[in-house]
Amino acid sequence: MANSKYEYVKGFEQNDTLLPQTWIVIRVDGRAFTRFSQVHGFEKPNDMQALLLMNECAKAVLEDISDVVFCYGVSDEYSFVLRRTCTLYQRRASKLISLVVSLFSASYAMKWTQFFPETELQYAATFDGRAVCYPSESILRDYLSWRQVDCHINNQYNTCFWKLVGSGMSTAEAQNTLKGTTADVKNNLLFEKFNINYNNIPPIFRKGSIVYRKQMDEVVKVEKGEVIKRLRAHIVVEHEDIIHDGFWTAHSYILAVGSKNKQQQALPRPAKPQLPSSLP
């Protein structure tokens, strides 16, 4: 930019550089999606095609931004984890948020007809975003656990609610029936009244979706009868438990690529509050 007497206006820009050597999580949330889902006739409590569309948009972000190492999505939200060593846009929050939100929103519009070929998009879906820094792997995992627990709690309630409404109750009656009920009571209601075992509900509804680059053995060539393989990363969408250690132990490379501070990564995770007893 050429120097001029007007250049002083640059001084009004605020420094929004995110803390260095921290995990950056950018969460994208649908704006006014209750109305959007009604206008476009989404199924309640979960619309499979809408969720698959969200997953496809997350894949587009992961493909485009190499610093994104893990994504978790549920309903109309998606969280994108950027490696702690990320220096993209000098870690400026406004730049990173606008990049992820615009890419996600554009992908949603472009890919709409792949998942809703018979439904015309009445108006553009819009998303807001925020960025939060987490100083350690343990706290980052607690954040992801929080989102997955929230997925379970909301899905269990919504499954019960819409089944009750579908059986003839008003929305107010369904709310009163579920008010103050525990997870076990909701499970029993689904089984006894509707013959639904909550654990048999598709995991995409109960656990949400994870998107990441999965390392897989691929056959490169066969030489003198010996099969030569090489690890290659493929973007996958799965629906796994990310609260307990099993997934992270089996896929330790996901977060390892984002950190150079091994000493801090080895810190023990703090004690956790007890999770809902029916969490699958």
- In tens, the pLDDT along 170-229 reads 999 999 999 999 999 999 999 999 999 999 999 999 999 999 999 987 766 666 667 666
Using DSSP, state whether 94 is helix, strand or coil: helix
Task: Quick: pLDDT tens for 14-41.
Answer: 999 999 999 999 999 999 999 999 999 9
Is the domain covering 18-136+205-209 a CATH 3.30.70.3000 domain?
A: yes
User: Which pLDDT band, with edges at 50, 70 and 90, does 267 fall under?
Assistant: very low
Terminal Cα-to-Cα distance of the chain (whole angstroms): 56
- Three-class SS state of 146: helix
Give me the amino acid identity at 236.
V
Query: Which DSSP string corresponds to 176-230?
Result: HHHTT--HHHHHHHHHHHH---GGGS-HHHHH-EEEEEEEEEEEEEEETTEEEEE
Question: Distances in Å between the alpha carbon of 190 and those of 129, 157, 164?
Answer: 35, 10, 9
pTM above 0.85, yes or no: yes
Identify the pLDDT of residue 261.
Answer: 45
pLDDT of residue 269: 52
Question: In terms of Cα–Cα distance, which of 201, 185, 204, 183 is closest to 193?
Answer: 185
Q: Is the distance from CB of 98 to CB of 39 less than 8 angstroms?
A: no
Q: Where are the domains of the chain?
A: 18-136+205-209
d(CA 64, CA 80): 12
